[in-house]
Structure 1
Amino acid sequence: MNKSLKRVLQIGIPVVIVGAIVIPRLDFFSNKDASTPTTAPQAANRGALPVTGMVASMSTSGNGIPVTGVLVANEEVELVSETAGKVVKIAFEEGALVKKGTLLVKVDDSDLQAQLARAEFQKELLAAKLERQRILLKRESISVEEFQQLETEYNMNLADIELLKVRIARTEIRAPFDGRMGFRFVSEGSYLQSSTKVSSIVDNSYLKIEFSIPEKYIDLPLVGRKLTFQPSGMEYQIEAEVYAVDPQADVATHTITLRARYRNTKNLVAGMFVKGELMTAENLKYILVPTEAVVPEMDGKRLWIVKNKKATSVPVQTDSRNSQFVEVTSGIQVGDTVLTGGLMQLREGMIVNVKLNK
């Protein structure tokens, strides 16, 4: 009996020990195989650079061509003195509205007035003498030559009078058009040299918006187009109309300059910066990408796109742009995934995990 029990124990104890070792290992392998399908995607993305991107699509201009420009006065003149002399009168206030022909500044003309008075007296004397000579000529008491000499002297006197009046007029600075006066740079009693700037006058009743667009739009009928613009720092929109196109393109920027006119009802002033849109009748189509997606280089511009889950840099051609978007004319196609974020860490052929922007 003891021998049988001993044999059972000799056989049973090793079996129990082997079972205790083998069964947990079988559970481990079964659990590992069961977890493989859920962790495989994570393993596949492990090591991929997280980036953001967008799918390139065709855009159609609904509002027009985005532009920026500056306001230009309808008329603007720097007032300068045409003659040298002492200022005896300043007849305007800085910032005041003046009418065309209003006297603004008077330069001393006392010497010219004295010369004019003398010439006027000579005119009366010569006129009376000429009349007597005409009577004598009819009686043939004097020669024709004598009469013509006196007549020439009289006409020269009339010319001297007109010249003095012109010189006197040049001692007065008058408003060339209706407008608002600028700051003055002279005072009464100061001595003016010829061409000395006295002040300026600006007509802001109408304002011109000067802006540029890419030269490829030159085929469009631009004159008469509507321009909707917004002054810098203001929230309202204003409408103007294009009235002139510069006949020459800028060789450096390949743009053409246009001017639109606006009746100034908002008290805007010349020199203000504006941004707006030039309305077009055509549905212009193009691919727009965010400005941060375009990488400038020495030989041009590039975009990062995704091919087979790998980042690839491609050269592109761009055209007009604004503060947010750039128009891409060649280099990418509709449907390409363009990378817009995380570009600083990208390298050619790097595997990326793209999160598409809405």
Structure 2
Amino acid sequence: MKKAFLLVGIALVLLVVVVGGSYFWRQRQLHAALQAAANPLVTVSATKAEEKSVAPEATAVGQVVAQAGAVLSLQTAGVITGLEFHSGQAVQAGQTLLQVNPGALPGQLQEARAQAALAQSNFARAQKVYAIHGISTAALDKAQYDAAAAAGKVQALQDELANTQLRAPFAGVLGLRQVNVGQYLTAGSPVVSLENLQALSVDFTLPQRSARTLHPGAQVTVQIHDGDRVEQYDATVTAVSSHVDADNRALALRARIAKPTGLKPGMYVQVRLQQAAPQAQVMIPTVAVSFHSYGDFVYVLKPGPKHTLIAHEQPVETGSQVGQMTVIRSGLQAGDEVVTAGQVKLRNGDAVRINNAVTL
């Protein structure tokens, strides 16, 4: 009987151990599952900081200007009788663009030419008579001055008649026509703009601290976005302002663009001026930097427990941007792995997994 009670007691103890162990094992698994659900792995893209040779440079926003550009107008008022151009046309220097009604000018010019011919004939006759002492010196002088006055009147009328035509002062491309045939054109009214697109410059300003590196002949790079591409042009500084602007303490510069194909006056561009020899700099993609008013930072990935990666918020000091890369002056070293996509889902200390095969 005692042996039977002993066996029953052992069986009960074993049952309690098995049930209790099973319960505690399930609780542990549940606790681990809850922890995993509370702190799931965050999928991010990442890359390593690289050390590259970068030249210190100054950047500015500039505006493209034409070295030869003007809004054309006439000095003479009148009704437009002829238009010999269309909008956007390429023209040569001296090409006639517009004609206004000359009125009585052609008749006045013809009369003036006849009077000038008569005055010149009288002067020639007076010279012959004076040679034989037939007239006084005063009479000869009067004949000479009459001839000169008549010739001057002819020249004045010719110039006035020429002003009834608008001619291209230089070769270039016309803008949009602003007048029509039959319209009365007042003196000085704009007719059309003319720009020489083969000779373009860029005007920009740089802070006074860059003054020592600014001089005519300095090479600059001009960039403009064309859709998803960035077009780049070489330019040479041709002029530096002789004084610093008192309002913004900046120097104005003008650089001539070597081959300005595709650019037009008025475009905004980015100008880059190399200020020193290239130096080794730590660089990361600009998308990896979180820019904030209280300071810029990146997420650096470091090894964690059980072969995981932990994201740590790392303050950084950023420098210039070169294309899609940003120079990091302090806070990172070459080889540090930083998050480039998925930062919005991260908090400091989160465990992550890297997937660079997809865009996040």
TM range (shorter): 0.5 to 0.7
Q: In terms of Rg, which structure is larger?
A: 1
- 2:211/2:251 contact within 8 Å kept: no
Shift of 1:15: 2.0
1:83 counterpart residue number: 76
For residue 180 of structure 2, give the secondary structure of its aligned residue in structure 1.
coil
Tell me how far apart the structure 1 counterparts of residues 50 and 69 of structure 2 sit (CA, whole Å): 47
2:104 counterpart residue number: 111
For residue 270 of structure 1, give the secondary structure of its aligned residue in structure 2.
coil
Which of 119, 138, 152 lines up with 1:159 in the alignment?
152
Which of 136, 150, 167 lines up with 1:174 in the alignment?
167
Shift of 1:129: 2.3
Tell me how far apart the structure 2 counterparts of residues 234 and 30 of structure 1 sit (CA, whole Å): 61
Report the more deviating stretch, 88-97 or 123-132. 88-97
2:315 counterpart residue number: 314
For residue 83 of structure 1, give the secondary structure of its aligned residue in structure 2.
coil
Q: Tell me: CA distance 1:188–1:213, structure 2 relative to 1, closer, same or farther (3 Å).
A: closer
What residue ranges of structure 2 are gaps of 5+ in the alignment?
Answer: 303-309
1:208-357 residue pairs with structure 2 within 5 A? Answer: 208=200, 210=202, 232-233=226-227, 241-244=234-237, 247=240, 258-262=255-259, 264=261, 268=262, 270=264, 285-298=280-293, 301-306=295-300, 311-312=312-313, 314=315, 316-322=317-323, 324-344=324-344, 350-356=348-354
Q: Tell me: CA distance 1:228–1:109, structure 2 relative to 1, closer, same or farther (3 Å).
A: closer
TM-score, normalization by structure 1: 0.68
Q: Tell me: CA distance 1:256–1:50, structure 2 relative to 1, closer, same or farther (3 Å).
A: farther
1:16 aligns with 2:17: no
- Residue type matched to 2:349 in 1? I
- Residue type matched to 1:329 in 2? R
What's the CA shift string for 1:170-193, capped at 9, x where partnerless? 111123334444442222221111
1:133 aligns with 2:126: yes
Q: Tell me: CA distance 1:45–1:252, structure 2 relative to 1, closer, same or farther (3 Å).
A: farther
Tell me how far apart the structure 2 counterparts of residues 254 and 325 of structure 1 sit (CA, whole Å): 28
Q: Tell me: CA distance 1:291–1:202, structure 2 relative to 1, closer, same or farther (3 Å).
A: same
- 1:51/1:352 contact within 8 Å kept: no
Q: Tell me: CA distance 1:75–1:131, structure 2 relative to 1, closer, same or farther (3 Å).
A: closer
1:145 counterpart residue number: 138
For residue 152 of structure 1, give the secondary structure of its aligned residue in structure 2.
helix
For residue 295 of structure 1, give the secondary structure of its aligned residue in structure 2.
coil
Tell me how far apart the structure 1 counterparts of residues 205 and 42 of structure 2 sit (CA, whole Å): 38
1:3 counterpart residue number: none
- 1:303/1:339 contact within 8 Å kept: no
Tell me how far apart the structure 1 counterparts of residues 352 and 211 of structure 2 sit (CA, whole Å): 36
- 1:51/1:353 contact within 8 Å kept: no
TM-score, normalization by structure 2: 0.67
- 1:72/1:207 contact within 8 Å kept: no
- Residue type matched to 2:284 in 1? V
Tell me how far apart the structure 1 counterparts of residues 289 and 228 of structure 2 sit (CA, whole Å): 30
What residue ranges of structure 1 are gaps of 5+ in the alignment?
Answer: 1-8
Q: Tell me: CA distance 1:357–1:321, structure 2 relative to 1, closer, same or farther (3 Å).
A: farther
- Residue type matched to 1:128 in 2? S
Q: Tell me: CA distance 1:91–1:113, structure 2 relative to 1, closer, same or farther (3 Å).
A: same
- Residue type matched to 1:22 in 2? V
Report the more deviating stretch, 19-28 or 247-256. 247-256
Which of 177, 186, 195 lines up with 1:193 in the alignment?
186
- 1:231/1:272 contact within 8 Å kept: no
- 2:311/2:352 contact within 8 Å kept: no
Q: How well do the aligned residues superpose, as a CA RMSD in angstroms? A: 5.1
Tell me how far apart the structure 1 counterparts of residues 5 and 268 of structure 2 sit (CA, whole Å): 93
Shift of 1:335: 4.4
For residue 52 of structure 2, give the secondary structure of its aligned residue in structure 1.
strand
